């Protein structure tokens, strides 16, 4: 992720909270703890971690939360109640995805249900297809075991390099940026793109002449573009 020099906001992940309100389903908090509504229903990025049944203390009581870590234009943490329909539909969707699919960019969306219910739907941002889940037998499902299973898959996958070489879940932002560039190397080699062709494309699409100048979100977009190109 590109580092901005000078004064600015404290560099920490942005929490996103799930809640069914009249015209939005998730929000952020300002520095004085006021809700900032998010009217967009989708967040696209790379999932970098997952924590389930996380004990969180509030001014009222101890609660259990599910935290989904996702890297987009900045790092986000989507927090929802462990027993919420959002958390459960998130786990069902991630459980369906393969190890490699979890490591690619995904779109996390909110869908309002009845009363205060919010569901999570996962989409492939390239094909625009949603990951269909089944709620059959969900009342008898061992959600704790499913959560541990999905956590293991998510936290071990992160990002693929060439073949099945993966980056550990403890990867830093700088290492993640380097790994994304490494992925572009693989696809560019398969396409036989010259340096000049690559520079021209970056200049036209992003207004930049080098992959090192791209943000992580731009690198993800570049990777998705390269994947769709016919191999020579």
Do 120 and 197 lie in one domain? The reply is: no
Q: Is 204 contained in some domain?
A: yes
Handedness of CA 48, 111, 221, 164 (dihedral sign): positive
Residue 222: which domain range?
173-227
Within-domain flag for 164? no
150 and 56 both lie in a single domain: yes
Total number of domains in the chain: 2
Q: Which of 157, 189, 214 is the last residue of a domain?
A: 157
Q: Is residue 1 part of a domain?
A: no
Q: Is the pTM of this model over 0.75?
A: no
Cα separation, 124 vs 223, in Å, equals 14
| Nearest-10 crossing angle of helices 216-227, 195-206 | 120
Whether residue 65 is contained in a domain is answered as yes
- pLDDT at res. 134: 87
**What are the angstrom distances between the C-alpha of 194 and each of 12, 128, 197?**
38, 30, 5
CA distance 169 to 114: 36
Tens of pLDDT, residue by residue, the chain (232 residues): 556 678 877 778 899 999 999 899 999 999 888 999 999 999 998 898 899 998 887 667 788 999 999 988 888 999 999 999 999 999 999 999 987 788 888 999 999 988 889 999 999 988 889 998 888 888 888 999 999 999 988 877 664 433 433 444 444 456 667 778 888 888 888 888 988 999 999 988 888 889 988 887 788 888 878 888 886 5
- Whether the CA torsion 150, 156, 162, 163 is positive or negative: it is negative
| Residue 19, domain member (yes or no) | yes
Mark whether 94 and 179 lie in a shared domain: no
């Amino acid at each position: 992720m590109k580092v901005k020099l000078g004064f600015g906001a404290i560099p920490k992940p942005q929490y996103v909270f799930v809640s069914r309100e009249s015209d939005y389903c998730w929000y952020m908090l300002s520095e004085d703890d006021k809700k900032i509504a998010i009217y967009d229903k989708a967040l696209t990025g790379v999932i970098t971690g997952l924590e389930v049944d996380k004990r969180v203390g509030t001014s009222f009581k101890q609660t259990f939360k599910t935290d989904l870590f996702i890297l987009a234009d900045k790092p986000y943490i989507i927090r929802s109640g462990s027993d919420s329909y959002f958390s459960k539909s998130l786990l069902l969707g991630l459980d369906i995805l393969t190890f490699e699919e979890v490591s690619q960019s995904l779109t996390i969306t909110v869908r309002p249900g009845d009363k205060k219910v919010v569901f999570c739907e996962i989409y492939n941002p390239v094909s625009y297809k949603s990951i269909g889940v089944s709620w059959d037998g969900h009342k008898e499902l061992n959600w704790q075991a499913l959560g541990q299973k999905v956590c293991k898959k998510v936290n071990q996958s992160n990002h693929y390099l060439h073949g099945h070489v993966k980056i550990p879940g403890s990867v830093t932002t700088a290492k993640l940026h380097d790994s994304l560039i490494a992925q572009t190397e693989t696809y560019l080699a398969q396409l036989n793109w010259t340096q000049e062709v690559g520079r021209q494309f970056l200049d036209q699409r992003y207004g930049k002449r080098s992959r090192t100048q791209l943000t992580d979100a731009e690198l993800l977009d570049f990777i998705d573009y390269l994947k769709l190109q016919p191999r020579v």
